[in-house]
Structure 1
Amino acid sequence: MEDPAATIQAEERTYCQDTCAPLKAAARAGTLDLLAWGHDLYPGRSFEKHMVPEVRSVGTWNAPRKQDWGMDWHRNTGLEFGYVERGKLGFALETDSWLLHTGTLTLTRPFQRHRLGHPGIEASTYHWLLLDVGATGPQSEWHWPEWLVCSATDLQRFAALMQSHETPVWHGNAEVARCFSRIRAALLLPEPEQVAARLKLHINELVVGVLDLLDQQEHASQALPGAYRTVELFLHHLTGHLEQPWTLNSMAEHCNLGRSQFSHYCLSITNMTPIDHLNHQRLNLARQLLDQYLELSITEISNRCGFNSSQYFANSFKAREGCTPSEYRKRRFGGLSGRVPTL
């Protein structure tokens, strides 16, 4: 949810006011149920300016079927919490993308470029909270709302954990699910003052719950068995060897593990099955090659990325990007030819 009140200059582009029009239109058309509160032009009911001004937007949607819209690339000036209660949802941040499943938590730092949709919104129940932490840039210091009762040490720890982890995708737990459920219940209260008061309470609970979750998952990663670290190292170097004809068996054998054990560790590390993660990385590479090397044919790119056929590559690319590789290149560069400078 991009801050409608903000104009952000980044990467020689200006990200201007956004009204979250696709989400509002879907709610008006009745293709999903929307429950939301916020400030300025965000969807749902509006708070008065003095009421929890740090809560830029908070809400839940229930999409009973796949939607023909998505939230395109945008940046927030605040910290965004997202949680998939049911279904699945496409999510991308910078150059990486995920298909989120039930119980997945996302944490997007201020000014990180991201989008929701694959490219359309899948059938899902999704919660979000966009919280202003006083950030003035990607590396600036955070200033939490005064009504957060966490200790200064805890809040500094939260910000440090967020800055030290590259992944925005986490495995949620029962406490995080309960926090979002309580926030949703608060949004149903009839009076704005009641909503604002309950939100302060439940956002405090959410911040503590998420901090505990981050701590637990960090401590778990520090005490991981050797096999886990072997898989982690293998996946890190996999991006340099995507042209090889990897299978689940060959990847597991490379790590001297059985299929089930390798799959378990891969899912824990990436939130994807091994084959899904392999295809995810191959498609990332394909998009880079399409952007940077116009002299390469689609077949050459398919081979370099390790796809066993150009048709399978085209189908996989279209499933994720919403268009074939040829269409993608045509939309971006038209009739240009030759090497394109690295972006």
Structure 2
Amino acid sequence: MRKTQIKNFYDYYQPDRCEPLIHASENGAVQMKGLSRFDYPGQELPDAILPGIYSMGYWDAKTDQNWGLDWHRNEGIEFSFMESGSLYFSTESETVHLHPGSLTITKPWQLHKVGNPIVTIGKQYWIIIDVGVRQPHQEWKWPDWIILSKEDLEYLTKILRENDVRVWQSDKKIQECFIEIGKCLDHAEIEIPQSRLNILINSLLLEILSLFKKGDIEFDQSLTHNLRTVEIFLNHLRTDFEKSWTLEDMAEHCGLGKTSLSKYCKHLTNMTPVNYLINIRLEAAAKMLIDQEEEHVANLGYSCGFTSSQYFATAFKKRFKCSPSEYRNRFNNGYVGKIA
């Protein structure tokens, strides 16, 4: 039986369960091998073997697929490598066409998707390592079996935390590490080669560090600040406003105290977190009033996260100087620009 993952991570982050990949593998559309914990695809890893590895595996698609991995986050830092073929990889800021040798690196708070919208022919490897963080400001803790020197591990961590480049061109040694990990996975059903995988993963991290050292790395300490965590959360809130957020929920999501969250939110928006959420809900409701002309006003308020029709109407009138029904009617008559 698989263990239950931390509840709040699933509540707040919607980590990827890779269900399209699982279905494609079960249907024979792709070859897939993996070792995993929780709901990730692949053979389950026993507790004592490589603790901190949430998932590692590969898929091998011989034909274009009818699925992709939509926007998601992972619980750990993910390193993915493309051995062959091509594939679109998207972040919130860009879409990149991956080619053989492409190495992607994403952190737990970073949304990304694979395929645009489908996965194409190619072989893709991945490994997800839990470093004990869910937000940018938190201190990383690598699994105990990572045996890089203290100095090397600290520098690798610094680069990963303070540099936001997500797509790199790997070298031959990194490629060899992933390919050898894949060979281990091919035989894992018989016996999981723990020592071999331990050595390979450590080697992979060391080679990634070497790759970084060869380049011109730009550091940005602001990527690790509390302010950055709150900024990411506020962006997330714009697409998750219908949830019953409390100030306590928001602070827990950010890994900050309520006072700190309020301070940074005020700095970024000149509003308290709760008022910022209400403003987002009202903007969404105003758009829905126009886009969904036949929907009852109260239902739109509930769908935007308001708990009562009266509270929705009161807040809406305070923001837009008219009731929701009047707003809809005035838009239909061409007057909404005068009241928005």
TM-score by length of structure 1 reads 0.60
2:147 match: 149
Written as runs of structure 1 = structure 2, the 5 A alignment for 1:285-324 is none
* Aligned mates of 2:145, 2:190 — CA distance in 1: 17
Further displaced range: 66-75 or 202-211: 66-75
2:5 match: 5
1:45 match: 43
| TM-superposition CA deviations, 1:51-88 (whole Å, max 9, x none) | 21211100011011111111111111211000000011
1:208 aligned to 206, 209, 212, which one?
206
* CA pair 191-121 structure 1, distance change in 2 beyond 3 A: closer
* Aligned mates of 1:168, 1:16 — CA distance in 2: 20
* CA pair 192-161 structure 1, distance change in 2 beyond 3 A: farther
2:94 match: 96
Secondary structure at the counterpart of residue 14 of structure 1 = helix
Written as runs of structure 1 = structure 2, the 5 A alignment for 1:58-69 is 58-69=56-67
1:25 match: 23
Partner letter of residue 150 of structure 2?
A
* CA pair 185-18 structure 1, distance change in 2 beyond 3 A: same
1:169 match: 167
* CA pair 104-7 structure 1, distance change in 2 beyond 3 A: farther
Deviation at 1:15, TM superposition (A): 2.9
2:179 match: 181
Partner letter of residue 201 of structure 2?
I
* Aligned mates of 2:31, 2:169 — CA distance in 1: 25
* CA pair 144-64 structure 1, distance change in 2 beyond 3 A: same
> Structure 2: where are the runs of 5+ without partners?
220-283, 288-330
Secondary structure at the counterpart of residue 159 of structure 2 = helix
* Aligned mates of 2:17, 2:74 — CA distance in 1: 13
* Aligned mates of 1:19, 1:133 — CA distance in 2: 19
1:109 aligned to 100, 107, 110, which one?
107
Check whether the contact 2:51–2:143 (CA below 8 A) recurs between aligned residues. no
2:302 match: none
Aligned residues: 224
Secondary structure at the counterpart of residue 65 of structure 2 = coil
1:75 aligned to 73, 82, 85, which one?
73
* CA pair 15-51 structure 1, distance change in 2 beyond 3 A: same
Secondary structure at the counterpart of residue 137 of structure 2 = coil
Q: Identity of counterpart residues, as a percentage?
A: 31
* CA pair 5-96 structure 1, distance change in 2 beyond 3 A: farther
* CA pair 159-192 structure 1, distance change in 2 beyond 3 A: farther
Partner letter of residue 85 of structure 2?
G
TM-score by length of structure 2 reads 0.60
Written as runs of structure 1 = structure 2, the 5 A alignment for 1:120-135 is 120-135=118-133
2:325 match: none
1:140 match: 138
* Aligned mates of 1:40, 1:178 — CA distance in 2: 28
* Aligned mates of 1:58, 1:125 — CA distance in 2: 14
* Aligned mates of 1:91, 1:84 — CA distance in 2: 11
* CA pair 16-113 structure 1, distance change in 2 beyond 3 A: closer
* Aligned mates of 1:49, 1:176 — CA distance in 2: 27
1:56 match: 54
Partner letter of residue 83 of structure 1?
F
Q: CA RMSD in A?
A: 2.9
Deviation at 1:89, TM superposition (A): 1.1
* Aligned mates of 1:17, 1:112 — CA distance in 2: 11
* Aligned mates of 1:109, 1:17 — CA distance in 2: 12
Secondary structure at the counterpart of residue 176 of structure 2 = helix
Check whether the contact 1:76–1:110 (CA below 8 A) recurs between aligned residues. yes
| TM-superposition CA deviations, 1:140-193 (whole Å, max 9, x none) | 111011111101111111111122322200011100000001111111234676
Whichever of the two has the greater Rg, that structure is 2
Deviation at 1:50, TM superposition (A): 2.2
Deviation at 1:218, TM superposition (A): 2.2
Deviation at 1:136, TM superposition (A): 3.7
Deviation at 1:14, TM superposition (A): 2.8
